[in-house]
Structure 1
Amino acid sequence: MECVVQGIIETQHVEALEILLQGLCGVPRDHLKVHELCLKSGPNLGSEASEVRLLCDLQQSEPSWTVRHVGGSMRGAGADQISVLVRTMVESKVSKNVLRLFYLLGYKLDHELLRVGFAFTFTFQRGAQITVTVSSVSKMLKLHAIDDTVPVTPGMQVVEVTAPASAENYSEVAAAVSLFCEYLAPLLHLSKPGVSTGVVPTAAAAAASLMSYSGNTNM
């Protein structure tokens, strides 16, 4: 399982967000460049629609592939009372032939995206392993053409906070993620995927303050 929240931030404030994350996480950032392919199952695989995402890490000297399947989210009164989405997720490293395999299984390419940005992975309170990714998202104009893209949300970048969890500790992990999100509140709103909260009206002032502070401090 994983706990996840998402939000958007104006590109002009991303540098300030990075400064804030560097101070909160206490670890170096990782550069992010991922080619994401969304595949959907064909009619021969049953009546239930199935969707998988193939992620090609282009930041490595030798691109590596990961397959990810995101399942249903937790429902019920318990799920409604927490501010993060708790959902099942299966992820595995695969070989570079994975796309051909899924085509043979009857999957069809639905769309492709290119995500470019950075990520922080660190241990937060209660042992939660939190990953924060900040990335610009672009769609491809031609099949597999990672050098020919257009922004999906011009002037905006997507922020995602995730943490792995289990049936035994998801409530503790969710609480840790919620607490961490409070530290980012001056710059952006984070909420369950699919719930749009827009940008923070006072983000410009918060970003200016962070930039001013960092200019007078040895980071």
Structure 2
Amino acid sequence: MECVVQGIIETQHVEALEILLQGLCGVPKQRLRIHELCLKSGPNLGMVASEVRLLCDLEQAEPSWTVKHIGGAMRGAGAEQLSVLVRTTVESKVSRNALRFFYGLGYKLDYELLRVGFAFTFERGARITVAVTSVNKMPKLHATDEAVPVTPGIQLVEVTSPAAADNYTDVVAAISSFCEHLAPLLHLSKPGVPTGVVATAAAAAASLMSNGSGTTL
């Protein structure tokens, strides 16, 4: 399983967010350039449609591929009380022939994106990853060099952490605690819940930029 929250931030404040994250996380950032292809199953693969994502890390000298299936979110009164979405997920490394393989199985390309930005992965009560990316679309198939932003001036912030049935409450608590430090710059919530930009972002960003560095906590 994984725990996840998302939010958006104006591109003009991303540098301030990076300064804050550097201070909070105390680890080097990782550059991201992820080519994402979303595939959906055809009618020959069962009555219930399934969806998988093929992710290629273009930042690597030898681009590597991962296949990821995101399952349903945890349901019930207890799950609704959580500020973090808990959902099942399965992922595995695959060869560069994976796209051809899934086409052969009967999957069809639904959409493709290019996510460009950076991420921090660190331990803080759980193994947490914070990714800040510009989400881009391609004008033609697989043309990553021609990608343009889906929402110019806005970037996506996603906080995720792996979890299991016996520890997800601890992971949710760790994510919620960490996200409180980001509140002046952005609001994070479950995927699919609109958040918008935060009114205090400009002032918080100005303060961080004038300080010029974060403090490791």
Is TM-score (shorter-chain normalized) higher than 0.5? yes
Q: Aligned to 1:142, what secondary structure does the other structure show?
A: coil
Query: Is 1:150 matched with 2:124?
Result: no
Instruction: Quote how far apart the aligned CAs of 1:82 are.
Output: 0.8
Residues 32, 116 of structure 2: 8 Å contact kept: yes
**Match in the other structure for 2:200:** 202
Q: Distance in 2 between matches of 1:121 and 1:146?
A: 25
Give the letter aligned to residue 35 of structure 2: H
**Match in the other structure for 1:5:** 5
Query: For 1:101-121, what per-residue CA distance to the aligned partner results, in whole angstroms no more than 9, with x for missing partners?
Result: 000000000111000000000
Structure 1 residues 23-172: aligned runs within 5 Å:
23-125=23-125, 128-172=126-170
Q: Aligned to 1:109, what secondary structure does the other structure show?
A: strand
Q: Distance in 1 between matches of 2:118 and 2:79?
A: 30
Q: Which ranges of 4 or more aligned residues in structure 1 deviate by more than 3 Å?
A: none
The count of residues paired between Structure 1 and Structure 2 equals 215
Query: For 1:34-60, what per-residue CA distance to the aligned partner results, in whole angstroms no more than 9, with x for missing partners?
Result: 000000000000110100000000000
Long gaps (5+) in structure 2 = none
Residues 135, 151 of structure 2: 8 Å contact kept: yes
Give the letter aligned to residue 143 of structure 1: L
Q: Distance in 2 between matches of 1:179 and 1:3?
A: 13
Query: For 1:92-150, what per-residue CA distance to the aligned partner results, in whole angstroms no more than 9, with x for missing partners?
Result: 0000000000000000001110000000000002xx00000000010111010001122
CA RMSD of aligned residues (A): 1.1
Q: Distance in 2 between matches of 1:14 and 1:171?
A: 30
Q: Distance in 1 between matches of 2:138 and 2:52?
A: 18
**Match in the other structure for 1:182:** 180
Q: Aligned to 2:189, what secondary structure does the other structure show?
A: coil
Residues 31, 117 of structure 2: 8 Å contact kept: yes
Q: Distance in 2 between matches of 1:31 and 1:150?
A: 18
Q: Distance in 2 between matches of 1:207 and 1:173?
A: 28
Q: Distance in 1 between matches of 2:124 and 2:165?
A: 19
Which one is further off, 18-27 or 147-156?
147-156
Instruction: Quote how far apart the aligned CAs of 1:216 are.
Output: 10
Q: Distance in 2 between matches of 1:206 and 1:130?
A: 23
Normalised TM-score (structure 2): 0.97
Long gaps (5+) in structure 1 = none
Q: Distance in 2 between matches of 1:114 and 1:135?
A: 9
Q: Distance in 2 between matches of 1:120 and 1:164?
A: 15
Give the letter aligned to residue 162 of structure 1: T
Q: Distance in 2 between matches of 1:211 and 1:27?
A: 19
Normalised TM-score (structure 1): 0.96
